[in-house]
Structures are given as structure tokens and as C-alpha cells.
Amino acid sequence: MLYSEIGRHAAEMPSRYNTIIVESMKHLLLIGLKLLFFSLLVSCAQQEETEKESAHEFSVSSDTLYVSDEQSEILIGRVKDIAIGPNSSIYLLDSSDNTVKIFDNNGNFITKMLSGQGRGPGETVNPNSIFADQSGNLYVTDLSQNKILVLNSDNRLIAEAVLSIRPSKVVANNPDDLYITGFRFSYSGNLIHHYSRTSDHGYEMISTFAERGSQGESREVSMSGWSDQISIDNEGKIYVGRFFPYYIDIYTAEKEKIYSIERELEFITKPQMDRSSGMVTVSGVVREPLPLANGQLLVRYFEMDENQSRKSYFDLYDSSGELISTKSFEQLGISENAEYFISDISNNVLYAGFNDPYPGLIKYKIEFN
């Protein structure tokens, strides 16, 4: 009997060992799969971190598009403002003859718009800024008449908005809705005025939004002559930046605030007024917010020394409003003579308008390292 039990157990041993081996192999395989999965997670995290770090650095490369004295038929007297139209075309407001000259994205002249100086329908006295939508409609602010003209791509007047403020900048995705900022000394209250087109080819104001800076208004700020800046991207998001303090609001096309950007810089301070002369001086100014692809944003600003010479910078923000890089114009190789900037969002390109040493534009391609 004893021998029979021993024999039975001996016969069962190979089967039990096989079961143990199989279970052990399964266990080891499971451990291996877990280690492989963990390694993949670490690798993805490292790759994501590397990509995030690489997005922290950017540079620009430049090509001079054109200068005014190369071809007499496209003579540029003075660059007043610039805009981006369909197919990355470039609209340039020339204050020397109150016309808008249009070029393709290689700098080749296409046509002119905004002919006619006066106070009649479709005419301007002092055009000070322009905007172009992706259908080729042109929006022109007239500082002297407190109005905005809307022209179609054939240079025909679509509508005209008569304003209660002195217009500084207008943006729009179509002629039905205009978003306007004014010069600070011309009005109080919210920064952006929203005008809607009426059936009689005019406009009426339907709302205002974007509160003024948290540090409040003052005579020095109001009379400094600087105005707040506004931009719009291809999705209809609206960006408004105050020249003081450093504060950017981002809104949806439905005027709902998405987030705000605020930054403390020691040289962005309230303008100072000399009471005896009435002269206002600034130590630093925030300029235009420039939307880029993928929700990124460039903000231009500069500091002024005691001789009122400036040193300019770009801050780069990601789509959540996080600051990811700061570069000076000197680091980027951009001249301090650049007066006006516009971004071609689709191609991550900047255009800078110059009047010194000659009137013209330079194209800057943004490169992320």
C-alpha cells in the first residue's frame, strides 16, 4: 500500500511540475509586459518633455520683400499700417497718398484700393489703420471723421460705420460684425465696441466688452496718446492688449472670456506727465498681440531709456496662456526701426513695416527649435 501511494505521487509529479512551470512562465510574461508598458510610458513622457522643451525656443529668418525705390509704379511713401488678406496677400496703408497697396506673399504688386480723399461716402480724410478679412474685404478707420469704411475686393463701398469714439483699430471676420478699439482719450468704459451691420448699409453698436486695466484710468494714461491693440485669429477668437499695464484678454467669437495673461515688468509703468509742459513720457509700452498657429501667441513690448530709445521684445505664449519664451529683437535679429507688425497665422510668418531707412516691409519666418 505504501509503495502504491508513493508510486501514484511519483507519477503525478511531472504533471504538477509542468503546471508550476507554466504558471511561472505566465507570471514572468505578465511582469515583462508590465515592464514593457512602463518603459513605453516613460519613453512617451520623455519624448513629450523633449517636444515641450523644444517649443520653448524660437527664432526668425528674414527676407526683404520690397523697398519703395525699386519700382516706381509701386512707390511707397510712408507705411502707416499693414494687414493680411486672402492667400497671405499683404495690404499696406500708405499715408503719403491715402491708398492701400496690395501685394502677394512674394512681394509682387497686385492692385491699389481706397482711392478718393474727402468727406463723402467711401472717402477718407485721415485713414490711420486697416484690416482685411479672408474674403478680401477691407476695413479702414478714419481718425478725422470717426468712421470705418468697409470695401469689398472690387474697391466698392459695402457699408460705413459712424462712431462715437476715435477709432484706433478694427478687426472682423466678415462685414456683419466689427470689433473696434479707440484712442484712450476719446472714450471711457469697456475697451472693445461691437458694431453690427444694419439693413440700410450702416452699423449700430450693440455691446461693449473687455474691461480697462485693473490699475484704473488716469489723465496721464488717457492723454499719453497710446491706444489699446486688438487682433483676431482664424477661429474668431479676439485678443485685446492694453499698452499699460501688461494685460491681455482672449475672448471667443461669442465674446466669452477664455483666459487672461498678466505679467509684471518693472519698466511697464504708468505714464508720467510733466504738469508744466503737458508732455507725457513712458518707460515701457505693450504693443500688439500677434496670434500664431496652434493657439500660440506673440506679444510685442518695449522699454524706453532716459533718452526715449527703445529696446523691444517678443513674449511667446502657448495655447493655455503659459509664457514659454522671451526674446529680444537683438537676439532675433529684428531692427528696432520696425514700427508695425502683423502675423500670417496660417504660415507662422510676421511682417514688419519700416519707414527708416526706407519705407517697406520685411518678412520674418518663425522657426521653432
Query: 44 and 64 in one domain?
Result: no
Query: 10 and 138 in one domain?
Result: no
Among the listed residues 220, 86, 221, 230, the one whose alpha carbon sits nearest the alpha carbon of residue 172: 230
Residue 188 near residue 182, CB atoms below 8 Å: no
Query: How far is Cα 42 from Cα 48, in angstroms, rounded to an integer?
Result: 10
Query: 36 and 134 in one domain?
Result: no
Query: So what's the pLDDT on residue 118?
Result: 81
Residue 340 near residue 334, CB atoms below 8 Å: no
* Domain interval for residue 157: 59-368
Query: 123 and 67 in one domain?
Result: yes
Query: 228 and 132 in one domain?
Result: yes
How many CB atoms neighbour CB 99 within 10 A?
A: 20
From the number of C-beta atoms within 10 Å of its C-beta (0-12, 13-18, 19+), residue 59 rates as: middle
CATH code, domain with 143: 2.120.10.30
Query: How far is Cα 343 from Cα 82, in angstroms, rounded to an integer?
Result: 10
Query: 347 and 261 in one domain?
Result: yes
Query: How far is Cα 314 from Cα 288, in angstroms, rounded to an integer?
Result: 10
How many CB atoms neighbour CB 224 within 10 A?
A: 22
Residue 82 near residue 342, CB atoms below 8 Å: yes
Residue 342 near residue 91, CB atoms below 8 Å: no
Predicted model pTM: 0.82
Task: Report helix, strand or coil for 61.
Answer: strand
CA torsion sign for 279, 285, 289, 292 is positive
Name residue, grid cell 484710468.
217
Query: 88 and 9 in one domain?
Result: no
Query: How far is Cα 296 from Cα 348, in angstroms, rounded to an integer?
Result: 10
Residue 105 near residue 89, CB atoms below 8 Å: yes
Among the listed residues 276, 264, 270, 166, the one whose alpha carbon sits nearest the alpha carbon of residue 224: 270
Query: 90 and 37 in one domain?
Result: no
The phi and psi torsions of 165 (rounded to 5 degrees) equal -125, 165
From the number of C-beta atoms within 10 Å of its C-beta (0-12, 13-18, 19+), residue 353 rates as: buried
Query: So what's the pLDDT on residue 280?
Result: 86
Among the listed residues 296, 298, 300, 336, the one whose alpha carbon sits nearest the alpha carbon of residue 319: 296
Query: 207 and 122 in one domain?
Result: yes
Query: 83 and 9 in one domain?
Result: no
Chain centre to alpha carbon of residue 256: 18
Query: How far is Cα 208 from Cα 189, in angstroms, rounded to an integer?
Result: 8
Which segments in the chain show pLDDT lower than 70?
1-56, 64-74, 214-216
Query: 201 and 73 in one domain?
Result: yes
Q: Name the domain count of the chain.
A: 2
Phi-psi domain of 360 (left: phi exceeds 0; alpha: psi -120 through 50; beta: other): left
Query: 104 and 43 in one domain?
Result: no
Residue 352 near residue 334, CB atoms below 8 Å: yes
Query: So what's the pLDDT on residue 13?
Result: 46
